[in-house]
Amino acid sequence: MLGEFLNSEYNNAGELYGLDAVKLSRIAHSASPIEKAQIIKKIAQQGQVQSSRGSRKDMEKHFGVLPNHIKDELSKGNLRLSDYTIYSIKPINSKTIKMFEPQDDKEVGVRNISNAKLPKNMVMVVSGIFLLTGANTDVNNSEARKAIKFQSVSTVDAITNGEFSFKANRKQLIPENQAIRCFATDNNNTLPMGYYPLDNPRLVNDDELIEFTIELGTQFKIPENQWLYVGLVGTVTTP
């Protein structure tokens, strides 16, 4: 285990191997001079997760709360980290739109997960969310929904004034009644269109139902055949 720990690519590797600074200090007493120097370096890295960037940094901060089977596979090198976006599109057919549902199947241009769950051994730390809207210009063509030009939610007032919630792991990750207006980033040159960065990144476990629900106060002046796009952006574990 010590060798795997010392050669780990992660700044916060101690959380994966169950080795905190105290345990490492004890191991260092009986280690070779080279190993001792490596251990000291790793101890210093334990508090330097900030040296990683973006959602990878967020994932490393969550190492301590990852499911045990994910920790084991990461520590063995059978899983690694990768950037990823989970997405889904849905039509606005009512004032409540569930962007992920158990009956959903993967389909390119429509969504990239099935059954509203991450597959086995894939967990994700969500660091930000996209929410966009667009019109299906040809309802008689089943392929047209895959070619919708999604734009800012600010283009439709009834959507901008709505609310959303995000649930996974049987827990409320973002409470109900959160304003959709936070996705109206049109006048913010520091953010991509429709992107809401999370100050409190959230872990989504594998094989757990994901629920992202839009609640509209009204459908007044929402164009016919209007659709929504949601993208959960972050870092996942992958083979």
Residue type, 238: T
Instruction: Over range 218-226, report the average pLDDT.
Output: 97
> Is the pLDDT score of 1 beyond 60?
no
Percent of the chain with pLDDT over 70: 80
Q: Given this model, what pLDDT does residue 89 score?
A: 98
pLDDT band of 229, cuts 50, 70, 90: very high
Q: What is the dihedral of CA 106, 201, 166, 93, to 10 degrees?
A: -60
pLDDT for residue 68 is more than 90: yes
Sign of the CA dihedral running 175, 97, 117, 81: negative
What is the pLDDT averaged over residues 139-156?
A: 97
pLDDT band at 98 (very low <50, low <70, confident <90, very high): very high
Which DSSP letter does residue 68 get? H
What distance in Å separates the CA atoms of residue 228 and residue 131, rounded to the nearest whole number? 7
pLDDT at position 5 over 80: no
What pLDDT was estimated at residue 30? 63
Tokens standing for residue 109: 């241009």
Handedness of CA 7, 11, 17, 22 (dihedral sign): positive
Read off the pLDDT of each residue in 28-51 and give the average, rounded to a whole number: 62
Instruction: Tell me the C-alpha distance between 80 and 143, whole Å.
Output: 35
Q: Do the strands 195-204 and 124-135 form a parallel or antiparallel pair, or are they unpaired? A: antiparallel
Mean pLDDT of the chain: 89
Query: Cα(21)–Cα(185) distance, rounded to whole angstroms?
Result: 42
Paired strand residues for 222: none
The one-character DSSP state at 205 is -
- Contact in structure between 70 and 236 (CB atoms under 8 Å): no
Asked if pLDDT for residue 46 goes beyond 60, the answer is no
Q: What is the pLDDT of residues 169-204, one digit of tens each?
A: 999 999 999 999 999 999 999 999 999 999 999 999
pLDDT at 51: 62
Domains annotated for the chain, with CATH where assigned, are 2-76 (no CATH), 80-238 (2.60.120)
What pLDDT, on the 0 to 100 scale, is given for residue 17?
62
Question: Residue 237 pLDDT more than 70?
Answer: yes
Token pair belonging to 5: 């720990």
Per the DSSP assignment, residues forming a β-bridge with 91 are 227
> What would the mean pLDDT of 100-108 be, rounded to a whole number?
98
Token digits of residue 14:
């101690």
Question: What's the pLDDT band for 47 if we cut at 50, 70, 90?
Answer: low
Report the pLDDT value the prediction gives residue 201, as an integer from 0 to 100.
Answer: 97
**169 and 208 Cβ atoms separated by less than 8 Å:** yes
pLDDT score of 32: 73
**Residues pairing with 81 in the sheet:** 237
* Number of H-type helices and E-type strands within the chain: 7, 9
User: Residue 11 and residue 59: Cα distance in Å, rounded?
Assistant: 11
**What's this model's pTM, rounded to 2 decimal places?**
0.84
Residue 163's pLDDT band, with cuts at 50, 70 and 90, is: very high
Residue 5 three-state SS: helix
